[in-house]
Structure 1
Amino acid sequence: MSDSELVSDELIHVESVDHFKRVVDREGVVLVDFYADWCGPCKMLEPIVETIAADTDALVAKVDIDEFQQLAGAYQVQSVPNVVFFADGEPKKRVVGMRGEEVLRRVVEDLSASSDR
Structure 2
Amino acid sequence: MTTDTVSETSTGTPTEPIHITGQANLDEVVGDYDVVLTDFYADWCGPCQMLEPIVETIAAETDATVAKVDIDANQQLATTYGVRGVPTLVLFANGEQAEKVVGLQGEDQLRSLIERYTE
- TM-score between the two structures when normalised by the length of structure 2: 0.88
Contact 1:24 1:86 in 2 (8 A): yes
Q: Distance in 2 between matches of 1:94 and 1:70?
A: 17
Aligned-partner residue type, residue 75 of structure 2: Q
Contact 1:9 1:59 in 2 (8 A): yes
What displacement does 1:36 show?
0.4
Trace 1:80-99 onto structure 2 (pairs within 5 A). Answer: 80-99=86-105
Moved more, 85-94 or 3-12: 3-12
What displacement does 1:15 show?
1.9
Higher helix share: 1
Gaps in structure 2 of 5+ consecutive residues: 7-11
Trace 1:45-56 onto structure 2 (pairs within 5 A). Answer: 45-56=51-62
Trace 1:53-72 onto structure 2 (pairs within 5 A). Answer: 53-72=59-78
Q: Any idea what SS the aligned residue of 1:84 has?
A: strand
Q: Any idea what SS the aligned residue of 2:44 has?
A: coil
What RMSD in Å do the two structures reach over aligned CA positions? 1.7
Q: Distance in 1 between matches of 2:57 and 2:33?
A: 21
Q: Any idea what SS the aligned residue of 1:7 has?
A: coil
Q: Which residue of 2 aligns with 1:22?
A: 28
Moved more, 18-27 or 74-83: 18-27
Q: Distance in 2 between matches of 1:19 and 1:99?
A: 25
Aligned-partner residue type, residue 66 of structure 2: V
Gaps in structure 1 of 5+ consecutive residues: none
Q: Any idea what SS the aligned residue of 1:25 has?
A: helix
Q: Number of matched residues?
A: 113
What displacement does 1:7 show?
2.4
Q: Which residue of 1 aligns with 2:39?
A: 33
